[in-house]
Amino acid sequence: MSIVRTPTRVVALAAAVLLALAIAVPVSAEPTSVPGGPYAPEAQGEPNRSSNLSFEEIEEELLHLEQRSRGALDVEQVGTSGEGRPLYTAKIGDGDTRMWIQGRIHGDEPYGAEASLELLKRLIAGGGNAGDVLEEITFMVVPIYNPDGSEEYQRGDVVEGIDLNRDWVDFQATESRAFWYAWQDFRPHYAIDIHHQGMNHQGAYYEGDSNRMSTFSVGISLSEDSLDGDHRYDAIRQMGVVAAEAAGKRGNVNPTRYFPIDIPEGVVSAMLLGSPGPEGEDPDWETAGMFFESRGGIDQKSRGYLIGQNTDALWGVIDAVAADELDDVDPDAYWDIPPRGAAITPSDKFPQEY
């Protein structure tokens, strides 16, 4: 092996340049982020999606889990997408309490599907307290709500060109109609919808006014005025508290509270309101539903981490419900969760390993 030696005069010149640069920086400047970086990556076009599961891979895994479960998991096709792909639900458990979990209603937000599959794997394997959980809770899991949009890697559906998470009033899309009837039949007490806040660095935010990055947020899709005084308002805030606490135990997550929104035509909003169905049917049911939001950065490096924080948060809610401890949580502690802060830009510094 040859050794390339740098001339002494080059080293001296480089040192002089660095010293000059250091002197040029005002000593009074306050650091705006974690010292030492590294910088957030510059925009690089489409994120690396090579590790994301395709619809066919999700379908194959779901059917394999059903076979492996020896009858415990019931995978049912409840309809077809606009382009003709099967719309699946996966039901497991024997408990009187019912919980609905869905992922990938937005086709370019992939990890809700993976987190849903990880949850099913753990329930089927039966390790830890999974057996006790299944005695208390029956789950209906929708790993991939929007298969057509997922294949095109676009937010909305392909045929109607609409956001499926704004379609539980008009029911323009076949996906919306199919899953409304599945929800009506199942009549869940609780629901969780898994999302992302963005794809690249654009979906990364600070924790409140701190210089820490939040990778996970909990949110309520209706305004406080719409829900104040309703017992479900307590339940969804309690769910948010235990989800944030569970996700935060992973380390470097820094859970936050999503900014206030009011979207009555959204899926979990319509569940909360007990909104009429596609033909004006009264479901005679209301569900305490809320949502999770992971940060952007959809690539191989962050995949396992972002999936893991969602499964941790799911289990936080599941454990509290199964142990009948959710009602013991102070709902007003929801407001103690730091709010989601400003967006992190490419010129800001934050730990890339998050």
Cα angle 318, 255, 91 (rounded to 5 degrees) comes to 25
For residue 218, being part of any structural domain is answered with yes
Tokens of 21: 């640069």
Rounded CA-CA distance 165/145 in Å is 10
Give the residue among 215, 302, 293 at the shortest CA–CA distance from 258.
293
Give the residue among 138, 144, 95 at the shortest CA–CA distance from 116.
144
Q: What is the pLDDT of residue 317?
A: 98
Q: What is the pLDDT of residue 39?
A: 32
Domain count, the chain: 1
pLDDT tens digit string along 181-207?
999 999 999 999 999 986 544 678 899
Q: Residue 286: which domain range?
A: 55-343
Q: Phi/psi zone of residue 250: left (φ > 0), alpha (ψ -120 to 50 degrees), beta? A: alpha
pLDDT tens digit string along 88-125?
999 999 999 999 999 999 999 999 999 999 999 999 99
DSSP alpha helices (H): ranges in 137-256? 147-152, 174-186, 224-227, 231-248
For residue 170, being part of any structural domain is answered with yes
For residue 214, being part of any structural domain is answered with yes
DSSP for 297-325 reads --SHHHHHHHHHHHHHHHHHHHHHHHTT-
**Reduced to 3 states, what is the DSSP secondary structure of residue 90?**
strand
For residue 275, being part of any structural domain is answered with yes
Rounded CA-CA distance 283/276 in Å is 6
For residue 236, being part of any structural domain is answered with yes
For residue 5, being part of any structural domain is answered with no
**Reduced to 3 states, what is the DSSP secondary structure of residue 60?**
helix
Under DSSP, the state recorded for 26 is -
For residue 40, being part of any structural domain is answered with no
pTM: 0.85
For residue 140, being part of any structural domain is answered with yes
In tens digits, the chain (354 residues) has pLDDT values of: 433 333 433 334 444 433 343 334 333 333 333 333 333 344 445 556 667 899 999 999 999 999 999 999 999 999 999 999 999 999 999 999 999 999 999 999 999 999 999 999 999 998 889 999 999 999 999 999 999 999 999 999 999 999 999 999 999 999 999 999 999 999 999 999 999 986 544 678 899 999 898 999 999 999 988 887 778 999 999 999 999 999 999 988 999 999 999 999 999 999 999 999 999 999 999 999 999 999 876 666 778 889 999 999 999 999 999 999 999 999 999 999 999 999 887 777 665 444
Q: Phi/psi zone of residue 198: left (φ > 0), alpha (ψ -120 to 50 degrees), beta? A: left
Alpha-carbon Rg for the chain, nearest whole angstrom, is 23
Provide the CATH number for the domain around residue 237.
3.40.630.10
